[in-house]
Structure 1
Amino acid sequence: MRCIADLITKISIEQRTDSGLKNQIYNISPVTLSIKNYVVTEETANICSYKATDDCLQKIWELFANRPFVKSTQRVEAQSFPTSTTTTGMITSQNIPLPYVTDLFQLFPKDARATICYVNPSYHYMYVTTCGRNFPDMPMNTLDQQFFQMQLNANNLDLLFEATYQFEDALKTVRNTASRRLNIYIDLTSFRIIFQYEMNSNGALIFDGLDTNNQNVSIKLRGALIYQGDTDCYYNVDLMSRRPPPPILCTIHYIFWLFGPANGGSCVYDVNNTFDEVLSQIEGFINNIYF
């Protein structure tokens, strides 16, 4: 694993006056770091589940031994936007179909080799336009409290689940000001922007997300700089005038697994039908089960 960082490579002292006042000078240069071996010392995870008794599991087994059933799930697809940020901000678009999309989220890499590290671009007046609508309804600022709360809600971290400190820091920590770039001592690479397109109140029985019937539609991402020039820490990747790669667009699609007892057990991966259409294919499906 390799990475490039701006490090202090030389420290020198020069005398300013005859009285003995001196300046301490730091030379900062890009340095390539190579890591051959590393040890994971700690891992954290937020897990919440429900316990089923043995009797409950046995009844489920008996019920579906002779009946087909549906398991809803999600598929994630990722593609890069064609262009990256500029000195004035970002306007880029992608034309793709949106079949049964529940969420869109954007990732902002600073280095093409950093496949799991994404940063806050520090933009305002930012939104996504698709299907004739802007998301969110009002342009957002990626550094304010409203954006922070919106992302907690989109990640289901506002009620039952608790966000990790790393995730919170990536959302709310400022990396620069109007006059200087700040030296950050914590990990801020978990940043992403999520937009929900499906309501949370229908229990997944009615799809109310985005569906373009497999027709291409424009998805335009806009954003204006909060900090410009040398203090723009997203556009200025390092001291070698490298620029970040284009942002990544991820789409979350609603799909289904169809399990049945035929021929000793069958499984069909359905990506083209709605929930109602899937149910119509299954003979003898039971809508409500009570134990």
Structure 2
Amino acid sequence: MREIEELIRNQTAVPYTIPIRLKVSIPLDDLLIFSAFTDYHNSLFGDLKIKFKINPHAFVFCQVNLIISMAKYYTMNEDELLGRSQQNLKNIDFMFRNWNLTFQYAKQFTQLGYTADLITELHAEPLTESGLKNLVCDIKPVTISIKNYIITEITANMAGYKATDACLNRVRYFYSQCPFVVPAKRVEVWPFPTSATLTGIRTSQNIPLSHVTDFSLLFLKEAKAATCIENLCYQNMQITTCRHNFPDTPMNTLDQQFFQLQLNESNLDLLFEATDEFEDTLATPRNTATRKLNSLTDLTSFLITLQCERNSNGALTFDGLDTLNQNTSVELRGAPIYQGATDSYCNVDTSGK
């Protein structure tokens, strides 16, 4: 708090500019990447590298509870505060005693560059002539953006993978006798041409499919959204392409079957565990038939993953959909669980365009 005050004290122009240090940790859990590093060792075929790019607009922010932040500040700087004037201690005590809960914290992240309602000022207003006061907070829309950034250090978290000497020797012998192929994944992004309406979504896109193993669906509330994606709370959702439905039965994005489906298809049911935020996003209702519900935790990690598999005579068949570079229709359809004013997927196109 004190650092922020000192940084903006001499700034007269709005917006204020504040340097911030961030720790970026990239979780690496792609099994195919580690398979390539294990099977195709650098000493065999030259350098294998992992390259990634950081999108500065994908960073997020969230306002913390001021009373909790003040309590931590008081605890960490107790000796210094006690050495100051008694008025400072009275002000802190006044805040603790009079803080009200009229401001509902969203408890969710907001992407940089977007606007959120934040507490911008606290002040006391007199209630009676005897000196009784009331603590009032000013709430205003605030936009936090990133102007530039410098990467100084990055850490990565990964599970342990190691090839034994016997394995490497066998790989060397095998590939000394025949050509080798390094498998790779490619992610293609295709937006659907139409958005949701008040009654749901039914849209299609004609695209070529080349050995497609998974469909991943993101439902953006804003065109520039890259990080904060919420559960749209839809039912009867399904993708149809190549004469197959994925999944076999329509989905409800809040029921137990959908929850287990997403854990299975994201490989989060065995070796890797889902974060609490991801599980909450899949399982927490955002509305009822009569009202929207405030979030008790961050619910902006929503993603639908559908493996291209089908039920064939009781056995699961992975097709790896391939249309031989020919366009084919990919249709998405679904409807909100609750329609009208309580529809939590607010970015609807009422004009039907």
TM-score between both structures, scaled by the size of structure 2 = 0.54
Q: Which residue of 2 aligns with 1:68?
A: 179
Give the Cα–Cα distance (whole angstroms) in 2 for the partners of residues 2 and 9 of structure 1. 17
Q: Which residue of 1 aligns with 2:289?
A: 178
Q: Which has the higher strand share?
A: 1
1:213-258, CA deviations, whole angstroms, 9 ceiling, x for partnerless residues? Answer: 2111111110111122221121258xxxx99xx9xxxxxxxxxxxx
Structure 2 spans left out of the alignment, 5+ residues? 1-111, 123-135, 311-316
- Aligned counterparts of 1:150 and 1:207: Cα–Cα separation in 2: 16
User: 1:44–1:67: structure 2 CA closer, same or farther, 3 Å change rule?
Assistant: closer
1:224 paired with 2:335, answer yes
Give 3-state SS (helix, strand or coil) of 1:51's partner.
coil
What displacement does 1:107 show? 0.6
Distance 2:137 2:336 in 1: 30
Q: Does 1:136 align with 2:241?
A: no
Counterpart CA distance in 2 for 1:183 and 1:161 is: 29
Higher relative contact order (CA 8 A, sep 6+): 1
Residue 55 of structure 1 deviates from its aligned partner by: 4.5
Question: 8 Å contact 1:122–1:225 — kept in the other structure?
Answer: yes
Match of 1:98 among 209, 219, 224: 209
Please show how residues 1-291 of structure 1 align to structure 2 within 5 Å: 1-7=112-118, 30-34=141-145, 45=157, 47-65=158-176, 67-198=178-309, 208-236=319-347
* Cα distance change, pair 178–51 in 1 and its aligned pair in 2 (3 A): same
* Alpha-carbon distance in 2 for matches of 1:147, 1:27: 41
Task: Report sequence identity in percent.
Answer: 58
Question: 1-side partners of 2:174 and 2:242: how far apart?
Answer: 42
Name the SS of the counterpart of 1:104 in structure 2. strand
Between 150-159 and 177-186, the greater mean CA deviation after superposition: 177-186
Deviations 1:34-76 (A, max 9, x none): 467999xx9885x334422335334433543453212222211
Instruction: Report the CA distance between 1:176 and its aligned residue.
Output: 1.8
Contact 2:218 2:303 in 1 (8 A): yes
User: Does the C-alpha gap of structure 1 residues 133 and 208 become closer, same or farther in structure 2, counting only changes over 3 Å?
Assistant: closer
1:98 counterpart letter in structure 2: L
Deviation at 1:10, TM superposition (A): 9.8
Q: Does the 8 Å CA contact 1:87/1:235 hold for their aligned counterparts? A: no
Residues 89 and 223 in structure 1, CA contact (< 8 A), matched pair in contact too: yes
1:128·1:220 contact (CA, 8 Å) conserved in 2? yes
Three-state SS of the structure 2 residue aligned to 1:187 is coil
Which amino acid in structure 2 is aligned with residue 32 of structure 1?
T
Q: CA distance change for structure 1 residues 137 and 29 in 2, over 3 Å: closer, same or farther?
A: farther
Aligned length: 225
Shift of 1:28: 7.2
Question: Is the Cα–Cα contact under 8 Å of residues 86 and 235 in structure 1 kept in the other structure?
Answer: no
Give distance in 2, aligned partners of 1:30 and 1:233: 20
Counterpart CA distance in 2 for 1:29 and 1:89 is 33
Contact kept in structure 2, 1:97 and 1:215, CA below 8 Å: yes
Rounded Cα–Cα distance in structure 2 between residues aligned with 1:227 and 1:75: 36
Cα RMSD after superposing both structures: 3.7
Q: 1:147-193 CA distances to partner (integer Å, 9 max, x unpaired)? A: 00011111111222211212212211222222222222422222111
Q: Which amino acid aligns with 1:183?
A: N
Q: Which moved more, 1:87-96 or 1:222-231?
A: 222-231
Partners of 1:122 and 1:157 in 2: CA distance: 22
Contact kept, 8 Å, 2:209 with 2:323, in 1: the verdict is yes
Contact 1:9 1:29 survives alignment (8 Å):
yes
1:85–1:235 CA contact under 8 A, matched in 2:
no
What SS does the aligned partner of 1:78 have?
A: coil
The structure with the greater share of residues assigned to helix is 2
Larger of the two Rg values belongs to structure: 2
Q: Is the 8 A contact 1:181 1:233 kept in 2?
A: yes
Distance 1:189 1:158 in 2: 21
The aligned amino acid for 1:212 is T
